[in-house]
A and B are shown apart, each in its own frame.
Chain A
Amino acid sequence: MSTQSLTPKDLARYARHITIPEFGVEGQTKLKNSSVLVIGSGGLGSPVLLYLAAAGIGKIGIVDFDVVDESNLQRQVLFTVDDIGKSKSETAKKRLLGLNPNLDITVYNTRFTSENALDLVKDYDIVADGTDNFPTRYLVNDACVLAGKVNVYASIFRFEGQVSVFNYELKDGTRGPNYRDMFPEPPPPGLVPNCAEGGVLGVLPGIIGSMQACEVIKVLTGVGEPLVGRLFLLDAASFHTRTLKVNKSPDTKIEKLIDYEMFCGILPPSAESENLVKEISVQDLKGLEEAKEDFQLIDVREPFEYDIANLGAELIPLSSVLEKIAKISKDKKVVIHCKSGARSAKAIKQLQDEQQFDNLYNLKGGILAYAREIDHSLQTY
Chain B
Amino acid sequence: MSVEAGSGVPAERPDSYVSAALRSPNFMIGATITTLVLLLALVSFVWTPYSYAAQDIPNKLKGLSAAHWFGTDHFGRDILSMIMVGARTSIAVALVAVGVGVVVGVPLGLWAAARRGSLLDEVIMRANDLVFAFPALLIAVLITSVFGPGAVNAIIAIGIFNVPVFARLSRGAALSLWTREFVLAARVAGKGAVRISVEHILPNITNTLVVQVTIQFALGILADAGLAYVGLGAQPPIPSWGKMLADAQTLIGLAPHVAIIPGLAIVLTVLGLNLMGDGLRDIFDPRLRRSRR
Q: Do A and B make up one complex?
A: no
A-contacting residues of B (Cβ < 8 Å)? Answer: none
B-contacting residues of A (Cβ < 8 Å)? Answer: none
